[in-house]
Amino acid sequence: MEKISVAVRFRPPTTAAPAADQSPSSTGGDREWRVDDDTRITLLHRSAPVPGASFAFDHVFDGAATNERIYGVLVRSLIRAAVDGFNGTAFAYGQTSSGKTFTMNGSADHPGIIPLAVRDVFDTAREVSDREFLIRVSYMEIYNEEINDLLTLGSEKLPIHESLERGVYVSGLREEIVNSAEQVFKLLELGEANRHFGETNMNVRSSRSHTIFRMVIESSAKNHMDSGDAIRVSVLNLVDLAGSERIAKTGAGGVRLKEGKHINKSLMILGNVINKLSENGKQRGHIPYRDSKLTRILQPALGGNAKTSIICTAASEEIHVEETRGTLQFASRAKCVSNCAQVNEILTDAALLKRQKQEIEELRKKLQGSHSEVLEQVILKQRNDMHKSELERDRLAMELDEERRLRETLEHRLAEQQKMLDGISNTSISPDQFTDSIQFESLKTPTSKERPAEFVASRANYSKDVEFSPIPENLGTVADEDLWMQLNKGCVTDLEMLEMTPGFKCAPSLADDKASVATPDEEPIDARCQRLEKDCTADRQQLEDSKARRAALEDERDTLKRENSSLLDALAKARQDADRLVADRLEALRELDVEKSRMDELKQEIKLFSQAFSLRQGQLTSLYTKSKAIVENCKTSQLALP
């Protein structure tokens, strides 16, 4: 385990100050900061230490410190470790206009940490003679919680992904393979031209986004093409954070106000992550890395596998005492965070360098004898083309996965809807669904009327062959032709005239019993079937209309849900704004109380001064009276002399 290295840098005061002394303690006023032994800083009030306002860090730099000195003390060891295979991160934190961008980027005369680190990476790599290196760089910004690629115009709103092979990475981010510091400087100029800047009351060129300059350093042993030697892959992050803002001081409004809200929110989440990491392991709860894209990207550097250095910049003026105190409290908590850094070695073909060795070995052999710059450019171009193809392949694979998940989701929804439709179509019709019994009877399948089973008449047309046409021994309710002759005394009875049930006539034969003959007052079967078919068609149309109405109602329900969600989001934002306004009001009240206390102190001092002045005036008057009496006495004595 290794503690995060934390240093504090005070920028020179913006107001007029003696040139011989630019330390924080030379700014004047009742409250001032004093640096002790370059490691401790204390807040003084009228030259007396303020209780609870003393902080100790690894290094404390005053306004006279240069970027090169800060880099040498704090970051150079980080670069050496990154070349050796350790992940490294260095970032500047502080209020707006405190010198973060100057510390990280510097100027033409005073280069900052990023250009110094770039040169140091290539110089250190050249000193390592037994390994060969492949370096690629990327440059991104987080503007209003959206990730933009500063090296490619139009590449905005990039997503964050995580894999076992690459860890946490930004998908679609352009990476350039470089072989010199000058190439990196050109890419940095391109990125700075695309970065968001703005003007506020505190800074003419204020950073409106967090920027992350990333260098991926891959290395392997020379002359071991087939030995399976491990490849070292390290990631170096150089981060320039936007400064925390107080609206009362910056005077931000409109777009600047929105930018300030997102900046303060991400910095607040960063502070929450640091607070959680600084707690004891038993008391530590959930660490909210995913609440902000900044902390999500920097997750390995905060309590993970990386060496981390933090430069906290502060303003020494008395007007910024409270902001400086908050910065020092953040730095003090960050000093308690521990990382577990280790060399990153892989034995698979995942590293880009190992995938390219075989393809560029032939060109390298040609280059060894001629030292041709043309062949070097060809190798670099081939590396960039291969790397772009790898990134394009990864992007297409992710898009294919998204399309596959979307298709599965749609198929599932279609299957659910088909089940619902089948359930509706298979729903049985019960008499409870109809209020009119006639309407329900009309939907039944037409059948012939039931015949009573009390009596069955049949004609005996059997042949003389007893085997095939036996005479029934027990007649029961069955009567044959001879029985009818005996009962009717020889008279032949027309069976068609025989009424078995009132209102029902028997068919002339058993074969004709299978068909039912309609009476003139009954509806024909064909007409009835047509009418029922029309009714079924109407019912089907009514069912389709019901389905359409249901779909419309579902769409309306979804619309209402979306409106409700948007209203809830707006309400949450309004509550956040209200909380922020309440916090600003409380802060203003606290500042007003401080001003009132200062005014009371000033009144007390004026009162004491008035009393002292009155006392002094009385003494002077008494002295004047005594002097005048002495002069009069002298004159009188001179006149008395002869």
CB contact set of 573 (below 8 Å; sequence gap of 6+): none
Short-list 277, 301, 278, CA closest to 287: 277
**Is 97 annotated as belonging to a binding site?**
yes
DSSP secondary structure of 463-518: -S-TTTSPPPS--TTEE-HHHHHHHTTTPPP-GGG-EEETTEE--SSTGGGGSPPP
CB contact set of 239 (below 8 Å; sequence gap of 6+): 89, 90, 91, 92, 104, 210, 211, 212, 213, 298
Would you say 360 and 382 are in contact if contact means Cβ atoms under 8 Å apart?
Answer: yes
The angle at the Cα of 504, spanning 502 to 507, to the nearest 5 degrees, equals 145
> How far is the first Cα of the chain from the last one, in angstroms, to the nearest whole number?
104
**Is 419 annotated as belonging to a binding site?**
no
Helix (H) or strand (E) holding 182: helix 181-194
Beta bridge partners of residue 505, listed in sequence order: 499
> For residues 144 and 21, what is the distance between their CA atoms, to the nearest angstrom?
40
The CA distances from residue 451 to 441, 447, 476, 503, 504, in Å, are: 19, 12, 19, 11, 9
**Is 186 annotated as belonging to a binding site?**
no
Let me know if 321 is exposed, middle or buried by CB neighbors in 10 A (0-12, 13-18, 19+). buried
**Is 95 annotated as belonging to a binding site?**
yes
Short-list 36, 112, 20, 26, CA closest to 69: 112
> For residues 489 and 484, what is the distance between their CA atoms, to the nearest angstrom?
8
Would you say 151 and 175 are in contact if contact means Cβ atoms under 8 Å apart?
Answer: no
**Is 100 annotated as belonging to a binding site?**
yes
**Is 101 annotated as belonging to a binding site?**
yes
**Is 98 annotated as belonging to a binding site?**
yes
Q: How many CB atoms lie within 10 A of CB 19?
A: 6
Residues contributing to the annotated binding site: 94-101
Residues contributing to the annotated binding site for ATP: 94-101
